[in-house]
Amino acid sequence: MNSKELSVKFIEGIDKALKELVPKKAVLGQSFVIADAKGGMKTIPAKQLLKKIQSKKKWH
């Protein structure tokens, strides 16, 4: 397996994990800590993140 194939598999795995984790955290009323555009930390409620994710076609 070359590095490009490995990168694709890695991203697919992260995508799958987030698709399962975000809805669970939203139901529990929890939040995520994410990086903002400047590299700083930002807290976002899982419900809000779920709405953003669902608005992107690849997550439907």
**Tens-digit pLDDT profile for the chain (60 aa)?**
899 999 999 999 998 998 899 999 999 999 999 998 899 999 999 999 999 888 876 654
Q: How many domains does the chain have?
A: 1
Domain that holds residue 38: 3-59
Hey, how many other C-beta atoms are within 10 angstroms of the C-beta on 27? 11
| pTM: predicted TM-score of the whole model, two decimal places | 0.71
Residues in CB range of 21: below 8 A, 6 or more apart: none
Half-sphere exposure (Cβ direction) of 51: Cα atoms closer than 13 Å: 4
Q: Which of 29, 27, 22 is nearest to 53 (CA)?
A: 22
Q: What is the pLDDT of residue 52?
A: 87
